[in-house]
């Protein structure tokens, strides 16, 4: 599992503040978890799964019957400043601490295998 490290950075207002390395590296992504995966797994599995992410936005998508998350994670690729946030396929595997993660595409980018 990724161990969180913080770096001290200079803020525009002057005082120093700590920044999580995942945020500083811009390891951000979008993924969904369908409602059936949540209903079919016990709390311990879901807690272990979600411990891999720092969620910045969560929204229930009725059209997908899934929760859509924007999050930081060591499982995600580093992206450059100004890049579109990539979308990932994440497979929740019971009794494992690390889910299977595959980068699908960037939001707004066409892909032939969607």
Q: Is residue 48 part of a domain?
A: yes
**d(Cα 69, Cα 60) in Å, to the nearest integer?**
9
Residue 32, pLDDT > 50, answer yes
In terms of Cα–Cα distance, which of 69, 67, 107 is closest to 87? 107
Strand 66-72 to 16-20 pairing? unpaired
37-86 tens-digit pLDDT: 888 888 888 888 899 999 999 999 999 999 999 999 999 999 999 999 99
Q: Is residue 26 part of a domain?
A: yes
| Dihedral sign computed on CA atoms, order 44, 47, 51, 53 | positive
Q: Is residue 6 part of a domain?
A: no
Q: Is residue 13 part of a domain?
A: no
Q: Does the pTM of the predicted model rise above 0.85? A: no
Domain encompassing residue 40: 22-106
Q: Is residue 4 part of a domain?
A: no
**d(Cα 102, Cα 85) in Å, to the nearest integer?**
14
Q: Is residue 39 part of a domain?
A: yes
Mean pLDDT value of segment 27-40 = 90
Q: Is residue 1 part of a domain?
A: no
Q: Is residue 56 part of a domain?
A: yes
**d(Cα 103, Cα 60) in Å, to the nearest integer?**
21
* Number of structural domains found in the chain: 1
* Per-residue burial over 23-44, b = 16 or more CB atoms within 10 Å of its CB, e = otherwise: eebbbbbbbbbeeebeeebeee
């Amino acid at each position: 599992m990724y161990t969180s490290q913080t770096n001290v950075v200079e803020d525009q207002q002057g005082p120093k503040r700590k920044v999580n390395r995942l945020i500083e590296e811009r390891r951000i992504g979008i993924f969904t978890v369908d409602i059936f995966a949540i209903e079919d797994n016990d709390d311990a599995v879901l807690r272990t799964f979600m411990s891999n992410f720092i969620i910045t936005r969560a929204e229930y998508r009725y059209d997908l019957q899934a929760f859509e998350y924007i999050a930081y994670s060591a499982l995600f690729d580093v992206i450059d400043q100004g890049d579109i946030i990539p979308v990932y396929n994440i497979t929740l595997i019971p009794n494992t601490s690390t889910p299977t993660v595959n980068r699908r595409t960037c939001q707004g980018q066409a892909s032939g295998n969607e």
